[in-house]
Structures are given as structure tokens and as C-alpha cells.
Amino acid sequence: MRQIWACAITATFFGHAAFAEQTLEGRLVTFSVLTYDDPDLPILQARGKTVMVGKGVEFDLGPEGLTAGLDVVPVTVEIGPSRIELSYPLGQGDFWTSTFNGYVLRFETECALFKAVTIDTAYTTMDLTPADIRSETGALCLNVSGRRYGPGQRAALDILVEDCPII
């Protein structure tokens, strides 16, 4: 059964802040790669991987094999208490251009986990804008369609986490 997560745009800019009582640590999260022009007809929907957020790198994805001529670009994802960092250690090029080509992080929660998500422009080397970030309840989507990837390319999202119970 195919699952597609639609995410409403809720990104806003604000100063970097950490909130110790609201955290992503200790939460279960599933990370997946998704590409589509029509959300009901995905071009690529990679296998998701689920982990509990803790210290160190949560996801270190590599190619999964071609689907419709596309494959997963190697990416490393580290999730902190209120921050998500992505980097591209191998290969280089431009992401396939489509309506959405990016990442879906689905946290196990039943409440609106994200009060706000901002791009750390001092750390981020990718050409991302607030329109590339979408969230809904526990899902965070990052669209990297058409962006450059490779060594030296990285992105960081600062998260203002809502006080949601960990399930």
C-alpha cells in the first residue's frame, strides 16, 4: 500500500533558539525519499528507515537501485534536540527537477510537533528557501528539487518543537 504525506506550508523565519523542554531526541522518526509531479502518482518512493533520535547520525542513506531512472542520492542526516542537518559525502550533481523531490521525515506523534522551521543560512550551502519546507502534524518535508548536491553541500533546519508527548 502506497502512502504519500501531504504537508502544508508552515515555514517561518526567526532567530536561532533551543528549547530544552521541547525536543526531537527520544522520538521515533521514519526518513524517506519521495519524488513526484503528481502526489497521487509518485515517480520514486524510496524505502523508509525508522530509528529513535539520539546522539550521532540517524540516517546514512545510499543508492537503492533505479526506479523510473532515478535513485536515492547518498545523504547523511543528523537530528539533534531542535535541529536537522543534511550533508552529501559522495557524488555530485543536481537533483532531478520535479514538483517535489526531497525528503519526508515522519515523527511518531499525534500532535503538531513543529511550531516553526527555519533554515540556518549561516550553515546551509544549498540554495533553499522557506517555500522548500512543509510540515503537518509530525511530518516534515524538504524539497531539494533542482538543487546541487555533493561534498561541501549541506543544509540545517532549526526546529521550534511543540510540547508533544513522546509516544
Beta bridge partners of 154: 87
Separation between Cα atoms, residue 152 and residue 122, nearest integer Å = 14
Residue with cell 526518513: 31
Q: In 3D, which of 30, 21, 131 has the Cα closest to residue 79?
A: 30
Phi first, then psi, for residue 161 (nearest 5°) are -90, 130
Length of the chain: 167
Separation between Cα atoms, residue 157 and residue 100, nearest integer Å = 18
Cα 79 off chain centre by: 10
pTM score, whole prediction = 0.83
Express each pLDDT in 30-82 by its tens digit: 999 999 999 999 999 988 999 999 999 999 988 888 777 888 899 999 999 99
Express each pLDDT in 103-160 by its tens digit: 999 999 888 899 999 999 999 999 999 999 999 889 999 999 999 999 999 999 999 9
Express each pLDDT in 44-53 by its tens digit: 998 899 999 9
Q: Is 81 helix (H, G, I), strand (E, B) or coil?
A: coil
